[in-house]
Amino acid sequence: MSTHQTQVVIIGGGPSGLLLSQLLHCKGIRSIVLEKHTREYVLGRIRAGVLEHGFVNLMREAGCSGRLNREGEIHAGFHIAHQGRLDRIDLAKHTGGETVMVYGQTEVTRDLYEARDVMGGVILHDVQNVQPHALKDARAYVTWEQDGAAHRADCDFIVGADGFHGVSRKSIPAEVLKEYEKVYPFGWLGVLSETPPVAQELIYARHERGFALCSLRSRVLSRYYIQVPLTDRAEDWSDAAFWTELKRRLPEQVAGQLETGPSIEKSIAPLRSFVAEPMRYGNLFLAGDAAHIVPPTGAKGLNSAASDIYYLYHGFLGHYLQGDSTALDRYSEQALARVWKAERFSWWMTNLLHRFPQGTETDLRLQRADLDYLFSSEAAQASLAENYVGLPY
């Protein structure tokens, strides 16, 4: 068995794991990233597209913001289509000038991989049977297999950034971990197409037939979603059927402008609210999707992962550079306080804009009242805007 020595072993080479490893490296703290899949596979996943300014600041601090600054689009507002109207939420006006950036998760991940390569960061791909050990001992270790050989890394800490289906959360004893979960009775069918976006800003649409979202990645790349039953399969949706259904859910003036084309990616994501508490067990820290999932309405998934990394990074800085573990010891409590607010916001926005299959006439009237209130109250719009641009860390 080959043995490695490091300070932090990071399980998972998604955005959470890569960002943390890059930030730590910039401060001289050593880590190894263990990723189950190939780099091509990780970069092939099309996921989030809207970054809070806090995330952008972290990418800057990690020295990874060159391309993001050039190619990312600043958005100072977005639209909500409902009852035949198209209303705008002015993010900048309601937040003292804050905005969000449209820049895909795939590009964030690509930039982080490149920065890790330039600095000689250790990222091991295609690793199998990753297992954390000795979580309650003075030092922990992780074992794995690669190309048929067994490996081990001794470390001070393990960070579980291995997503919802990873091994890290499962390593915490069931009697310690409490899981909170809500599964929604629908999914999002997403399409990526090489067509100009239908509008310059995002449009979230509430419609009798179900939710729809018009988003984008660039001036020539669009991302659209429609709410679908959980029983649907992406391969059963032809491109033509997708475009027809999307247009039916958009206001006429928007649908008339929509430019369609062949899809270059099509997939269905289920919607779930999930939180695991605590986010620390001994030497193991959970971060990102390994600890929590939000339904995507409001774009808080990737951004909540980034806020965990912010708290964890500052915890490690205190521990390693100042010999003060106070922030590290408060990690779970601090991260969870912000996570639950993102959970609340995503749950609210999901309820506001989706058609619930078992929803009653009363539910519909309450939903309509919620929307009417939103666009009749500056305070309600300010609350939405404050959450959308991202609550402070």
Under 8 Å between Cβ of 69 and 92: no
Instruction: Give the footprint of ligand DHB on this chain (CB under 6 A).
Output: 48-50, 202, 215, 223, 296-299
Return the number of the residue (65 or 303) whose C-beta is nearest ligand FAD.
303
Instruction: Give the footprint of ligand FAD on this chain (CB under 6 A).
Output: 11-17, 34-37, 42, 47-48, 105, 130, 161-163, 165-167, 269, 288-289, 296, 299-302, 305
| Distance separating the N- and C-terminal Cα atoms of the chain | 42
Residues whose CB falls within 8 Å of the CB of residue 294, separated by 6 or more in sequence, listed in order: 273, 300, 301, 304, 342, 343, 346, 347
Q: Which of 103, 113, 184, 204 is catalytic?
A: 204
Active site residue 75: yes
Query: Rounded to 5 degrees, what angle do the CA atoms 122, 123, 129 make?
Result: 125
- Choose among ligand FAD, ligand DHB, none what residue 37 binds, the Cβ cut-off being 5 to 8 Å by kind: ligand FAD
- 198 by DSSP, 3-state: which? coil
**Distance in Å, CB of 35 to ligand FAD, minimum:** 5
**Distance in Å, CB of 103 to ligand FAD, minimum:** 12
- Choose among ligand FAD, ligand DHB, none what residue 269 binds, the Cβ cut-off being 5 to 8 Å by kind: ligand FAD
In what helix (H) or strand (E) does residue 195 lie, and over which residues does it extend? none
In 3D space, the residue among 109, 99, 100, 101 whose CA is nearest the CA of residue 46 turns out to be: 109
- Choose among ligand FAD, ligand DHB, none what residue 297 binds, the Cβ cut-off being 5 to 8 Å by kind: ligand DHB
Tokens of 63: 């020295």
- Choose among ligand FAD, ligand DHB, none what residue 295 binds, the Cβ cut-off being 5 to 8 Å by kind: none
Return the number of the residue (10 or 216) whose C-beta is nearest ligand DHB.
216
Name the closest residue to ligand DHB (Cβ). 49
Active site residue 388: yes
Return the number of the residue (202 or 339) whose C-beta is nearest ligand DHB.
202
**Distance in Å, CB of 128 to ligand FAD, minimum:** 8
The type of residue at 325 is S
Q: Which of 300, 310, 311, 319 is catalytic?
A: 300
Active site residue 251: no
Return the number of the residue (36 or 79) whose C-beta is nearest ligand DHB.
79
- Choose among ligand DHB, ligand FAD, none what residue 197 binds, the Cβ cut-off being 5 to 8 Å by kind: none
**Distance in Å, CB of 336 to ligand DHB, minimum:** 22
- 1 by DSSP, 3-state: which? coil
Under 8 Å between Cβ of 279 and 169: no
Active site residue 103: no
Under 8 Å between Cβ of 48 and 301: yes
What stretches of 103-220 adopt beta strand conformation (E)? 122-124, 128-133, 140-146, 149-155, 157-160, 178-193, 203-205, 212-218
| Peptide bond before residue 15 is cis, with ω within 30 degrees of 0 | no
Q: Which of 25, 36, 75, 82 is catalytic?
A: 75
- Choose among ligand FAD, ligand DHB, none what residue 29 binds, the Cβ cut-off being 5 to 8 Å by kind: none
**Distance in Å, CB of 293 to ligand FAD, minimum:** 7
Return the number of the residue (62 or 83) whose C-beta is nearest ligand FAD.
62
Spatial distance between the Cα atoms of 197 and 215, rounded to a whole number of angstroms: 7
Under 8 Å between Cβ of 205 and 258: no
Return the number of the residue (11 or 198) whose C-beta is nearest ligand FAD.
11
* Number of residues in the chain: 393
Could you say which DSSP state residue 258 is in? P
**What are the catalytic residues?**
75, 204, 296, 300, 388
